[in-house]
Structure 1
Amino acid sequence: MNKNPRTARRSANLTLVVASILALGLTLTGCNTATKASSESTASTAPASKVPVEAGAYPTTIAHAFGKAVIDKEPERVLTIGISSEDTVIALGVVPVAVPDETWAGDAEGYLPWFREAVADLGAEMPVTLNASDTGELDYEQILDLAPDLILAPYSDINDAAYKRLESIATTVAYANEPFGITSWQEQARIVGQALGRPAATETLIEGAETKLADAAAAHPEFKGKTFAYGMALNEGSTELGFYDKKDGRVTFTEQLGLTMDPDVAEISANRPKDLWYGAVSLEKLDTVTPDIFIAWGDDQATVDRSLANPLLAQWAPLKSGGDIWITDKELARATTSVSIISMGWALDRYVPLLADAIANTK
């Protein structure tokens, strides 16, 4: 056991209660209050494909919650709405005409690092970022001006009215059953790959990302058999500690690396309302939850410090052993919550060492 867990503790700074991601410009309106990029940008010219369309790929039909999208030929101007669809688009060598403005975790221009790098690798201009109002609503007029011929929103929360408005502009692929109802990053990639006429190439990319994940897990056999709880930093006056459950992407990602979500957390989560992705336990009963390590994220370092100062939390076994990870880095939060073909390597490089350090501290 580490005799000085506080000095060994890694604080990787991560914020993002899933709602933060889900609020990033996913519903639409007809007016704009915060223009970030003009639709006249050179990035809104037709994209240059480097992965060829496959024989027999068109026409193709994709069923979704509001009907079906019939795509007769290769789209020339692809626009993405929601979370991560642009990652598969760019991985297939297609530069979208516009992508969501990543105001929460993105850089000053609204792009995530792995997406920016992928565009640069193609030698292309960055695409337009979609305008967003203070409430996160998008601008239909801008979308109309961008003249897309395909709108991809398989991982979004557009409603029926929004879908009808988008469909009047261009063929739109919505989510299969319910908002943010994608069951895996592989499923999302396959939907995008089918729409772009590159299903076989998409499978190859998926296999590559899965190999990276498997290799990372194989390189750390000490992960197998270790249990974890993934929770939230304490708010001011908190009397409970919240835990994310298997519905949450960051929990799934951690399990795919070989760790197991603590069974006590599963039991807590079983009693939560159906539409929530987390459960909670009283700080006075923390000893009923017994993971080997605890992972949490908070809004900032002050939130982490406040959590660590709580005497009940400080005496919890994972913290006493130094088996705790505190994350406030927004990019890492985004990468591990909504994994994609191109964010996989970026996330693994930063997340796996944190897990390895925490587990080493518990020995």
Structure 2
Amino acid sequence: MPVWDLTPTDPRLVGPYRTRAVLGEGDMGRVLLAVAPDGELAAVKLVHGAFAANDQSFRQRLHREALAARRVESPHTARVINSDANAGVPWLAYAFHHGPTLHQALHAAGPFTEETVLHLAAGLATALRDIHAQNFIHRDLSASNILLTANKPVVIDFGIARPTIHPDDTPHATKIITITQTGIVIGNPAFMSPEQAMGNSQLTPASDIFALGTVLAMAATGQNPFQGATSEQTRLNIITKEPDLTRVPPRLRHIIEPCFARNPTHRPTATNILTTIGPPPPTPQPWPEPINQLINTQKAEIHKHTSIDPTTILPGPQELDPTKIFARWRGSAAVERHAPVGVQFVTEPAVDGGSVGSSRLSRRLRLLALAVAAVALLIIAIPWAIPANEVSHESPPDTADAFPVRIEHAFGETVIGTRPKRVATWGWGAAEAAIALGTFPVGITGEGALNSDQELQPWVADAYRAGGTEAPVVFDRGVGPRSVPYEQIRSTSPDLILAPYSSLDKEQYDKLSAIAPVVARPKGQSAEPWEGVVSVTATALGIEREGADLLAGSDAYLAGLGERHGLTGLTFAAIANNPSKREVIVFLGAAPSVRVIEGLGMRLAGSVRELNTSGEEITYRLGYEDLDRLDCDILLLYSTTREMANLDRANKDLKTLPAFAAGRVAQTADTAMWNAVVSPTVLSIRWPNGLPALTEALAEAAAN
């Protein structure tokens, strides 16, 4: 575990503990090496100052973590020795353990021998047995949350542990405040169970067992058995594919393979696994020599920082003032990926050619951080506090053989010679498709990724945060279809401009082509933009197969979401009210919003097609006088704001709609939710306040 010096803004005193160094940093907290007056070492976890000052849920979360860790008594879990959830900046102290994480150990030593994996398995199964015995689920067992001490593995970080739920939906033994929201996917995506990866909030201890199987397979082979080209692909593999255990020795496979049963009830318990392993032989030095060297090196580094008198308080800030500590990293204007940074985001300065609204963007990102405090990403989640050099920044796969790529579009053909490294996007969907495929654009604009105030949508902002990537330049859309900020786009130095679903004309295309190769709209503009934007983006990035996998994984996610909510087979109609013209806008099968609802297993009502006399493929207008003919099981009513939602609900003309009159209505009621579900992308469909929330509303409507 790396150690670095305290920064000028790190507190020197936390409760009774004197801080000495920094052990790790995550999106939501920071871990400091500290010493008690009696000389005992501690790892002190602090909630980031801005969260502590503005969001009470973080105090509740820290209290929950302390309670969970204190109730679990095990030689293989980290012990909480002190905490204060009511301090100016709440904190929690764990007993310090010398040793690298399993992630670091595998990087240094490579795959483990059978005997070493058995020793690891016995220790981790013991930890899970003891955690589950107290009716808790860890939910984040991963290579970064396992320390290898001199003689045993130790499970750390109970930050997202939760009580198990009994059939009557009441937590057993003790009621604990739950911070996470329904539909949020929390945990390290590479070590999730299928049910966790799909956002199921009712997890059981079997979810931890699946994660244990992944950890042990990784220890035996050096590679995650579900490894994909990106974090999202890995998560999709977990949901849709079987693990690759071809390199796991038979003796270990007998232990590991049952952990991957698709049905959670068919997985062994931790006690079953311990029985299968049997008593491990005594091993005074269970780890290979490179790991022992890591332990000794860390001990020397820790000694360097703690050799002074334990009662000494180092010079620097001593009070935990949430408005003063964790100031932003005073480095370059852009946040360094591997630098220890605080919660404040720093965006690129304004560039010539127009303001990018960077100060407004920073404020928006801070608000989003508070609003989604318990989640790190819609698609990808970051552990709550991890060492800086363990944050995963997966690179796109080696795509050299895929280039040059030739893409035909409305204005001719674009040739992309090498894999793009700096992508800019213009228009709907391309930015989010690129992000979902592991490429974060340096500049974005257009519908979907930005809201009406030219700010990042919350699911896009979350993705950049979780990916540890600096916020993109936000291009000024200006007014009118001919407003393209050429100089702003040029300032980002793109080597590719993705605009497959934009309103670019030939003159604009030519001007942008002078900056970088441009992928414009397909010939005739595809009637399937949901698939089209992903496939075109993936082709341009040289990862066409990954694009197909992403679409397949998204389809599997949607199908699972609909099945869990009992929506399969129900018919629907989706409309937006236009009272000034006494009409509604009816969405057709080619609309991405309809495509996504159909993905839930629902069917577009036959009346929707029968009433379309316009020849349009995406939407058409239907007068109030014909609303009684729009029959369906459930009406999906898109309203852009709470005020509009109330007005639509009170509209007497809409009551002639059969489903409306019967109360079978699901409705959007704010702008962000509208954007997430009316113009859905492979990224926005997993935003908890978007499609998952709408799916619950659809289920409620179906029950009426």
Shorter-chain TM-score bucket reads 0.7 to 0.9
SS for the counterpart of 1:51 is coil
| The 10-residue stretch of structure 1 (67-76 or 333-342) with the greater mean CA deviation from structure 2 | 333-342
Matches within 5 A, 1:113-124: 113-124=458-469
- Candidates 174, 191, 210, aligned match of 2:555: 210
Quote how far apart the aligned CAs of 1:70 are: 0.6
Deviation string, structure 1 residues 96-120 (Cα, Å, up to 9, x no partner): 1101166996396611122222212
Deviation string, structure 1 residues 176-234 (Cα, Å, up to 9, x no partner): 1145x35142332121112112223333333322221121122234x233222211224
228 and 121 in structure 1: CA distance in 2 versus 1, 3 angstrom threshold? same
Kept in 1, the 8 Å contact 2:496–2:516? The answer is yes
1-structure distance, mates of 2:654, 2:440: 47
Deviation string, structure 1 residues 294-317 (Cα, Å, up to 9, x no partner): 111234334333333333433543
Corresponding residue for 2:494? 148
Residue 597 (structure 2) pairs with residue 251 (structure 1)? no
Quote how far apart the aligned CAs of 1:34 are: 5.2
Residue 625 (structure 2) pairs with residue 279 (structure 1)? no
- Candidates 32, 36, 60, aligned match of 2:357: 36
Kept in 2, the 8 Å contact 1:233–1:298? The answer is yes
2-structure distance, mates of 1:289, 1:77: 47
54 and 242 in structure 1: CA distance in 2 versus 1, 3 angstrom threshold? closer
2-structure distance, mates of 1:104, 1:63: 25
| The 10-residue stretch of structure 1 (257-266 or 120-129) with the greater mean CA deviation from structure 2 | 257-266
2-structure distance, mates of 1:324, 1:35: 39
Kept in 2, the 8 Å contact 1:295–1:326? The answer is yes
2-structure distance, mates of 1:246, 1:276: 7
Q: Between the two proteins, what is the percent identity of the paired residues?
A: 29
Matches within 5 A, 1:205-354: 205-221=550-566, 223-236=567-580, 238-269=581-612, 271-272=613-614, 274=616, 277-283=619-625, 285-346=626-687, 347-354=690-697
Kept in 2, the 8 Å contact 1:54–1:198? The answer is yes
Kept in 2, the 8 Å contact 1:101–1:111? The answer is no
153 and 360 in structure 1: CA distance in 2 versus 1, 3 angstrom threshold? same
276 and 90 in structure 1: CA distance in 2 versus 1, 3 angstrom threshold? closer
Residue 703 (structure 2) pairs with residue 360 (structure 1)? yes
Report the aligned-residue RMSD.
Answer: 2.8
2-structure distance, mates of 1:101, 1:246: 23
Residue 403 (structure 2) pairs with residue 62 (structure 1)? no
SS for the counterpart of 1:233 is strand
49 and 170 in structure 1: CA distance in 2 versus 1, 3 angstrom threshold? farther
Quote how far apart the aligned CAs of 1:265 are: 1.9
296 and 32 in structure 1: CA distance in 2 versus 1, 3 angstrom threshold? farther
218 and 155 in structure 1: CA distance in 2 versus 1, 3 angstrom threshold? same
SS for the counterpart of 1:138 is coil
2-structure distance, mates of 1:155, 1:227: 29
Quote how far apart the aligned CAs of 1:275 are: 7.5
- Candidates 536, 539, 544, aligned match of 1:199: 544
1-structure distance, mates of 2:652, 2:545: 54
| The 10-residue stretch of structure 1 (159-168 or 182-191) with the greater mean CA deviation from structure 2 | 182-191
Instruction: Figure out how many residues of one structure are paired with residues of the other and give that number.
Output: 318
2-structure distance, mates of 1:205, 1:163: 28
Higher relative contact order (CA 8 A, sep 6+): 1
Matches within 5 A, 1:179-198: 179=525, 181=526, 183-198=528-543
- Candidates 83, 87, 106, aligned match of 2:432: 87
2-structure distance, mates of 1:246, 1:275: 7
Residue 518 (structure 2) pairs with residue 172 (structure 1)? yes
Quote how far apart the aligned CAs of 1:49 are: 6.4
Quote how far apart the aligned CAs of 1:321 are: 2.0
Kept in 1, the 8 Å contact 2:423–2:497? The answer is yes
Quote how far apart the aligned CAs of 1:80 are: 0.6
| The 10-residue stretch of structure 1 (305-314 or 117-126) with the greater mean CA deviation from structure 2 | 305-314
Quote how far apart the aligned CAs of 1:141 are: 1.5
TM (norm. structure 1) is 0.78
2-structure distance, mates of 1:187, 1:328: 28
2-structure distance, mates of 1:156, 1:56: 29
Corresponding residue for 1:112? 457
122 and 303 in structure 1: CA distance in 2 versus 1, 3 angstrom threshold? closer
Kept in 1, the 8 Å contact 2:575–2:636? The answer is yes
Deviation string, structure 1 residues 145-185 (Cα, Å, up to 9, x no partner): 22211111111111111111111111111111145x35142
185 and 244 in structure 1: CA distance in 2 versus 1, 3 angstrom threshold? closer
Q: Look up the equivalent residue of 1:120 and give its one-letter code.
A: R
SS for the counterpart of 1:169 is coil
Q: Look up the equivalent residue of 2:488 and give its one-letter code.
A: Q
2-structure distance, mates of 1:185, 1:353: 23
1-structure distance, mates of 2:552, 2:615: 35
Deviation string, structure 1 residues 79-101 (Cα, Å, up to 9, x no partner): 11111211122223322110116
Deviation string, structure 1 residues 4-23 (Cα, Å, up to 9, x no partner): xxxxxxxxxxxxxxxxxxxx
Kept in 2, the 8 Å contact 1:54–1:197? The answer is yes
Deviation string, structure 1 residues 227-247 (Cα, Å, up to 9, x no partner): 2221122424x4434422223
Kept in 1, the 8 Å contact 2:437–2:546? The answer is yes
322 and 304 in structure 1: CA distance in 2 versus 1, 3 angstrom threshold? same
Deviation string, structure 1 residues 110-155 (Cα, Å, up to 9, x no partner): 1112222221222111111112223362211212222211111111
- Candidates 126, 131, 137, aligned match of 2:471: 126
Q: Look up the equivalent residue of 1:93 and give its one-letter code.
A: G
2-structure distance, mates of 1:104, 1:51: 21
| The 10-residue stretch of structure 1 (119-128 or 326-335) with the greater mean CA deviation from structure 2 | 326-335
SS for the counterpart of 1:82 is coil
206 and 319 in structure 1: CA distance in 2 versus 1, 3 angstrom threshold? closer
54 and 258 in structure 1: CA distance in 2 versus 1, 3 angstrom threshold? same
SS for the counterpart of 1:151 is strand
Gapped regions of structure 1 (runs ≥ 5): 1-30, 42-47
76 and 177 in structure 1: CA distance in 2 versus 1, 3 angstrom threshold? same
Kept in 1, the 8 Å contact 2:627–2:657? The answer is yes
SS for the counterpart of 2:497 is strand
Corresponding residue for 1:53? 398
Residue 422 (structure 2) pairs with residue 77 (structure 1)? yes
